[in-house]
Amino acid sequence: MSVFAPATPFADFIYRHFRSVHALKLGLALLVAVTINAIWAPPHFIWSMVTIVVIMMSLPQVGGAIEKSLQRAIGTCLGSAYGVMLVATVDSYWLIMSLLILAVSLICFISAGRYSYAYLVSGFTIIIVVGDANHDTSEALWRTANILSGCVIAILVSLFIFPIKAKQDWRSQLTHAIDNMAEVLAQHLKAPANHDLDFRAKLEAAMKAVLTQKKLFFSLEWESKTLKKHKVLLSQLANKQVRLITLLELLPLTRWQEEDKDAYLQINAVASELAFYLQQLAEFVAGKAQQLPTLPECLEQELQHRLQLALASATSITDSNAATTDSEVPQGFALTGYSWLIYQLAIAVEALYEDIAIIEIAYNKQPASQITSGKAD
């Protein structure tokens, strides 16, 4: 099923109430741990509960919980193996502590990137296992086993108890960003000359939605093989949204005189189509439309031609008054710059359509030759 397909009522309910659902799932995971402790009472079982809270507290999505659990499990195993080796083979207190400090310092040096959490867990697991170097290896092994059991509980609860999908959150944030951009463009085009409308709140909300999308990339890779294959495309899609937001930030800075109203109305009539296309795209991403809307073929070339015609019509001067005044020079430059801005918006909108079309086609398992950038033939 496509990531842009309409969400089921159950999935929609979970997403709308994800905070409450997330809190309930964390409580259930802890209840499972407490029940295990009540039945078998393994030593140091508190580490299982600590692990559950660390993994699930800040990552409600299934993909995020899986990734963090695996990193914690790998880091725990590596750190525990090294710590147990020190306790079992080295008798000197100062030698154990020297090797511990050396290992943690080395981990600190190489810790970076996507797997930095695994390095972090490995470092403090070594310290936990070694402790004061005055205990046997059984305590270290029990701590390791409890941490791993906490990872397993967190993964199982995240997967099978009211799963919160990162795909749903990503799609919602993408819809929110596109919808805000479409609204900003539409309001600007309908506003009078020299308007003082403030679009900062909507554009900031759109940018925040883009940043949230970026935070979900790792979770998306665990939840969807299709999106994992197109992880570079996800990053490009986010960057193209940022470019579109930047262009929209320039719109409120454009100003013109009342005598230029007719010229700008002609250009805005062309630009209003872009707002319509953006709104259609937002509806498709939200699952309100079954098929991806199509753009006119060669949209930017067609729009550029129409803008040039509108600009030429607005700035034409008859031979009888061909003399150019000082005030007409900046006016012509302003019109040309404004039409250029609308043209760049058209290119950005088309690029947005292209990336979303590629993702949709990938989900439908259509051949790569059918990827037509979402344009109508």
Rounded Cα distance, 288 and 203, in Å: 23
Here the tokens at position 328 are 């007409």
* Residue with the larger pLDDT of the pair 371 and 261: 261
For the cut 70, the answer to whether the pLDDT of residue 308 exceeds it is no
Rounded Cα distance, 225 and 167, in Å: 12
Task: State the DSSP string of 189-236.
Answer: HHSPTT-----HHHHHHHHHHHHHHHHTHHHHHHH-HHHHHTHHHHHH
Is residue 257 very low, low, confident or very high in pLDDT (cuts 50, 70, 90)?
low
Is residue 316 very low, low, confident or very high in pLDDT (cuts 50, 70, 90)?
low
DSSP state of 161: S
How many other CB atoms sit within 10 Å of the CB of residue 269? 12
Is residue 260 very low, low, confident or very high in pLDDT (cuts 50, 70, 90)?
low
pLDDT in tens, 44-69: 889 899 999 988 988 889 998 898 89
Across the chain, mean pLDDT equals 84
Helix (H, G, I), strand (E, B) or coil at 372: coil
Alpha carbons within 13 A on the beta-carbon side of 297: 3
* Residue with the larger pLDDT of the pair 168 and 193: 168
Rounded Cα distance, 230 and 226, in Å: 7
Rounded Cα distance, 39 and 33, in Å: 10
What pTM does this model have?
Answer: 0.80
Q: Are 68 and 55 in contact (CB under 8 A)?
A: yes
Choose the weakest-confidence range: 81-95, 162-176, 212-226, 311-325.
311-325
CA 7 to chain CA mean position, Å: 19
**Helix (H) and strand (E) counts in the chain:** 15, 0
Rounded Cα distance, 193 and 28, in Å: 58
pLDDT in tens, 192-251: 766 777 899 999 999 999 999 999 998 999 988 889 888 899 999 999 999 999 999 988
pLDDT in tens, 99-127: 999 999 999 999 888 888 999 999 988 98
Here the tokens at position 376 are 């109508």
Q: Are 26 and 164 in contact (CB under 8 A)?
A: no
Average pLDDT on 301-310 reads 66
Average pLDDT on 262-271 reads 76
pLDDT at 365: 72
Rounded Cα distance, 97 and 130, in Å: 9
Rounded Cα distance, 40 and 146, in Å: 12
Alpha carbons within 13 A on the beta-carbon side of 122: 23
Choose the weakest-confidence range: 84-98, 221-235, 278-292, 302-316.
302-316
Q: Are 292 and 284 in contact (CB under 8 A)?
A: yes
Q: How far is residue 84 from each of residues 16, 121, 144, 158, measured CA to CA in Å? A: 46, 15, 10, 31
Is residue 325 very low, low, confident or very high in pLDDT (cuts 50, 70, 90)?
very low
pLDDT at 276: 92
Here the tokens at position 115 are 């797997």
CA 263 to chain CA mean position, Å: 39
Alpha-helix residue ranges (DSSP H) falling in the chain: 9-16, 18-40, 46-56, 62-89, 93-110, 116-130, 137-160, 166-190, 200-215, 217-223, 225-229, 231-250, 261-285, 299-315, 328-363
Q: Which of 178, 197, 300, 302 is nearest to 244 (CA)?
A: 178
Q: Which of 295, 334, 182 is nearest to 245 (CA)?
A: 182
Q: How far is residue 23 from each of residues 29, 132, 326, measured CA to CA in Å? A: 10, 37, 67
pLDDT in tens, 140-167: 788 889 989 999 999 999 999 999 999 9
DSSP state of 60: -
Choose the weakest-confidence range: 42-56, 134-148, 253-267, 322-336.
322-336
Here the tokens at position 3 are 């990531």
Average pLDDT on 286-298 reads 83
For the cut 70, the answer to whether the pLDDT of residue 321 exceeds it is no
* Residue 222 identity (one-letter amino acid): W
Rounded Cα distance, 242 and 354, in Å: 16
* Residue with the larger pLDDT of the pair 336 and 11: 11
Give residue for tokens 């020190």: 86
Rounded Cα distance, 97 and 132, in Å: 9
